[in-house]
Amino acid sequence: MLSMKEATSDFLAQKRVAVTGVSRKGAQAHGANLIYQRLRDRGYQVFAVNPNADEVEGDHCYHDLKSIPGSVDGVVIATRPEVADSTVQECEELGIKRVWMHQPPFGPGSASATAAEYGRQHGMTVIDGGCPCMFSPTADPGHKVLKLMGRMNGKVPRRIGSGVQST
């Protein structure tokens, strides 16, 4: 098991990150866009992923992870939970070892127990809760409050299972 701080610090230390579930309608329509914007504004090389969009937030949008040139160091999943399973499988096929399933403290999120288990069984570190905007260096005061609320109701775990497999 990893502490949430260890897992999030490692994830956010990466510089090439894909965000799935970004919307053509902008940040008002979907949290994925806010995550995408925050990472971009903090200097990450970030890639928008939406199978139905060619452009998001004024940037090129990729239809899937395999369409991104080169590779990415991590993927933020901000789609419906039932889509997370196929996204984690695509990460495994591409050798991506860091996955973060967005989960706000209230309402539905992207976390899927089956996707998390699949990822961990295949050597990935899967953060199945919280939001990258809740943790440094991407945090803001409002998201820090949301992190506390999410910890109280269990939507932001304190520890996560690691992808390190025992032999």
Q: For 137-150, write each residue's pLDDT tens digit.
A: 888 999 999 999 98
- The rounded percent of the chain whose pLDDT value lies above 70 is 93
Q: Which of 104, 103, 38, 36 is nearest to 72 (CA)?
A: 36
28 or 108: whose pLDDT is higher?
Answer: 108
- The set of residues, in sequence order, having a beta carbon less than 8 Å from that of 58 and lying 6+ positions away, is none
Joined together, the tokens standing for residue 25 give: 């309608």
- pLDDT tens profile 63-80: 999 999 999 999 999 999
Query: Which amino acid type is present at position 16?
Result: R
- The set of residues, in sequence order, having a beta carbon less than 8 Å from that of 33 and lying 6+ positions away, is 22, 23, 26, 27, 56, 57
CA atoms within 13 A on the CB side of 54: 0
Contact between residue 137 and residue 42 where contact means Cβ atoms under 8 Å apart: yes
DSSP state of 24: T
What number of residues does the chain have?
A: 167
pLDDT at 165 over 60: no
158: confidence class by pLDDT, cuts 50, 70, 90: confident
Cα–Cα distance measured from residue 120 to residue 111, given in angstroms and rounded to the nearest whole number: 14
Contact between residue 46 and residue 40 where contact means Cβ atoms under 8 Å apart: yes
What domains are defined for the chain? 2-160 (3.40.50.720)
28: confidence class by pLDDT, cuts 50, 70, 90: low
